[in-house]
Structure 1
Amino acid sequence: MKILVCIKQVPDMESRFKVNAEGLWYDESDLAWRMNEYDEYAVEQAVKLKEQVGDAELTVLSLGPDRVREPIKKALAMGCDRGVQIKDDESWRRDPLQVASLLAGYAKDQGYDVIFTGMQSQDRGSAQVGVLLAELLGIPSASTIVDFAFEGGTITAKRELEGGIKAVVKVKTPALFTCQLGLNVPRYPTLPNIMKAKKKELLTVEAASLPGADALIQVEKAAYPEKKGAGLVLEGEVGSLVEQVIGILKEKTTVFK
Structure 2
Amino acid sequence: MKILVCIKQVPDMESRFKVDSAGTWYDTTELVWRMNEYDEYGVEQAVQLKEQTGGDLTVLCIGPDRVKETMKKALAMGCDRGAHVNDPDYATRDPFEIGAIIAEYASDKGFDVIFTGMQSQDRGSAQVGVLVSELLGIPAVTTIVDFVLEGSTVNVKRELEGGIKAKVSVTLPALFTCQLGLNTPRYPTLPNIMKAKKKELLSIPVQDLLKVAFRLETVSMQLPEKKGGGLVLEGDAGELADKLITILKEKTGVLAK
Q: Same fold (TM over 0.5)?
A: yes
- Counterpart residue type for residue 51 of structure 1: E
Q: Indicate the RMSD between aligned Cα atoms, in angstroms.
A: 2.5
State the SS of the aligned residue for 2:66. Answer: helix
**Residue 243 of structure 1: CA displacement?**
11
Is 1:36 aligned with 2:36? yes
Give, in whole Å, the separation in 2 of the partners of 1:254 and 1:135: 53
Question: Hey, what does 2:177 align to over in structure 1?
Answer: 178
CA contact (8 A) 2:94 2:214 kept: no
More divergent stretch after superposition (125-134 vs 220-229): 220-229
Give, in whole Å, the separation in 1 of the partners of 2:233 and 2:142: 42
Give, in whole Å, the separation in 2 of the partners of 1:242 and 1:177: 56
After superposition, the C-alpha distances for 1:208-240 in whole angstroms (9 at most, x for unaligned) are 1123365375433332223345566788869x9
Question: Hey, what does 2:133 align to over in structure 1?
Answer: 134
Question: Hey, what does 1:52 align to over in structure 2?
Answer: 52
Give, in whole Å, the separation in 1 of the partners of 2:227 and 2:50: 51
CA shift in 2, pair 1:204/1:247, >3 Å: closer
Question: Hey, what does 1:195 align to over in structure 2?
Answer: 194
**Residue 163 of structure 1: CA displacement?**
1.2
Question: Hey, what does 1:103 align to over in structure 2?
Answer: 102
Question: Hey, what does 1:11 align to over in structure 2?
Answer: 11
CA shift in 2, pair 1:254/1:134, >3 Å: farther
Give, in whole Å, the separation in 1 of the partners of 2:22 and 2:248: 42
CA shift in 2, pair 1:113/1:241, >3 Å: farther
**Residue 8 of structure 1: CA displacement?**
0.3
CA contact (8 A) 1:74 1:194 kept: yes
Give, in whole Å, the separation in 2 of the partners of 1:59 and 1:79: 10
After superposition, the C-alpha distances for 1:160-190 in whole angstroms (9 at most, x for unaligned) are 1111110111110000111111111111111
Off by >4 Å, runs of 4+ in structure 1: 228-238, 240-247, 253-256
Unpaired stretches in structure 2, ≥5 consecutive residues: none
CA shift in 2, pair 1:172/1:229, >3 Å: same
**Residue 246 of structure 1: CA displacement?**
11
Question: Hey, what does 2:225 align to over in structure 1?
Answer: 226
Question: Hey, what does 1:80 align to over in structure 2?
Answer: 79
TM-score if structure 2 supplies the norm length? Answer: 0.89
- Counterpart residue type for residue 189 of structure 2: T
Give, in whole Å, the separation in 2 of the partners of 1:209 and 1:17: 32
Unpaired stretches in structure 1, ≥5 consecutive residues: none
More divergent stretch after superposition (30-39 vs 247-256): 247-256
- Counterpart residue type for residue 111 of structure 1: G
CA shift in 2, pair 1:160/1:253, >3 Å: farther
CA shift in 2, pair 1:202/1:47, >3 Å: same
Question: Hey, what does 1:20 align to over in structure 2?
Answer: 20
Percent of pairs with identical residues: 63
- Counterpart residue type for residue 119 of structure 2: Q
Give, in whole Å, the separation in 2 of the partners of 1:113 and 1:208: 26
State the SS of the aligned residue for 2:108. Answer: coil
Instruction: Report 1:107-256 matches (<5 A).
Output: 107-212=106-211, 214-215=213-214, 217-230=216-229, 248=248, 252=252
